[in-house]
Amino acid sequence: AVCSMGTSTSRLYSVLAKTLSSGAVSQPQDCLEQLDPARLDPIDPKDLLEECQVVLQKRPPRFQRSFVSLKKSAAGNHRPIRVMQWNILAQALGEGKDNFVQCPMEALKWEERKCLILEEILAYKPDILCLQEVDHYFDTFEPLLSRLGYQCTFFPKPWSPCLDVERNNGPDGCALFFLKERFELVSSANIRLTAMKLKTNQVAIAQTLKCSDSGRLLCIAVTHLKARTGWERFRSAQGCDLLQNLKSITQGAEIPLIVCGDFNAEPTEEVYRDFSTSSLNLNSAYKLLSPDGQSEPPYTTWKIRPSGECRHTLDYIWYSQHALNVNSALGLLTEEQIGPNRLPSFNYPSDHLSLVCDFSFNQDPDRLL
């Protein structure tokens, strides 16, 4: 494959779209060295957004979602930190395993679906981006997001189910991105989660960042726990292992913490209770959207499989409530917006909704600990 690269965004994106649309692992390998993000020019986000919109011009327009203000104007002098959590749906699983019976295969075409994913990211402009089910990291997300100014980290599952799918693009895993203009990386840990003293197929990334404008430290973690009914105790064990790791990394909650993830667990599960009662003093940000501030959203994923309709709350943004304030959170899609065929769709690229929150540092973090 020819991977010559022009300096304009248009040529960049056109080449990426053509080169990577096949989804075959073998074809892009020769291009990856030439697409080394360290040697590529920055991209203007507006230009990339226009590129995506050109590709998507035959699709319905993006869903409009609004931020809900959760706190009166913060006393701090520093701009909020926007964090985005999203299970983007691995391409190999969407096409080959997940069996979304109401979603046309045409809606899952990677060359268009990746533009929907990028459009969502570009629309909300997160300072920190946490993704799960990333199986196009090296050929799409790292080359593009690094040119948008993000530092990028990827940790694949040891035995990714994507590898069972013919013409897959490699294993899926968790990915963490942060804007280099806003943060400096202090430390980074790739964590393979254990359960009952056994290493599992689920992973996490935890990074300690130093905020450029305030000088404050912040630990950000991303994870994706074991799926399916019947694995509740296993998820709880994985969650406990992650919490133990995070206690060490944050020096027992001395460093403020945000944990993003697809926990594959409803709020009734033990792993949810483990996080909500941890000594790290964590709260779930999206509870604050409820009238009493105590209830999770009715759903963060909504799909139809051969076994029937699945509507669950599985995705969370946990935060150190003594050290951080949630200024605002992005409202979820309504049932009317999602539509009768549910997700994914021509409008929306994943079966999970993105969660986005704006955080600020508490001026007196020790007061509530």
Torsion angles phi and psi, residue 57, rounded to 5: -65, -20
Distance CA 320, CA 219 (A): 10
Q: What is the pLDDT of residue 236?
A: 98
Q: What pLDDT shows up at residue 35? A: 52
Q: How many CB atoms lie within 10 A of CB 194?
A: 17
For the chain, list the strands marked E by DSSP.
67-69, 81-87, 128-134, 150-156, 173-179, 183-195, 198-211, 217-224, 257-262, 282-284, 301-305, 308-312, 315-320, 324-330, 355-361
From 299, 310, 316, 256, select the one nearest 280 (Cα to Cα): 256
Confidence (pLDDT) at 17: 52
The type of residue at 277 is: T
pLDDT at position 99, please?
86
Domains, the chain, ordered by start: 80-364 (3.60.10.10)
d(CA 89, CA 227): 13
Residue 26 CA to residue 53 CA, distance in Å, equals 28
Strand partners of residue 358: 82, 328
Per residue of the chain (369 residues), what is the pLDDT tens digit? Answer: 333 333 344 444 553 454 344 343 433 343 344 455 556 789 999 999 999 999 999 999 989 999 999 976 555 678 999 999 999 999 999 998 888 999 999 999 999 999 999 999 999 999 999 999 999 999 999 999 999 999 999 999 999 999 999 999 999 999 999 999 999 999 999 999 999 899 999 999 999 999 999 999 999 999 999 999 999 999 999 999 999 999 999 999 999 999 999 999 999 999 999 999 999 999 999 999 999 999 999 999 999 999 999 999 999 999 999 999 999 999 999 999 999 999 999 999 999 999 999 999 998 655 444
Kindly report the length of the chain: 369
CA distance 209 to 206: 10
Tokens found for residue 146: 């690094």
Q: Is the separation of the CB atoms in 210 and 180 below 8 Å?
A: no
Distance CA 264, CA 271 (A): 10
Cα-based angle 304, 92, 46 (whole degrees, multiple of 5): 90
Question: How do residues 278-289 score in pLDDT, each as one tens digit?
Answer: 999 999 999 999
pLDDT tens for 163-200 read 999 999 999 999 999 999 999 999 999 999 999 899 99
Largest CA distance in the chain: 59
Handedness of CA 342, 343, 346, 348 (dihedral sign): positive
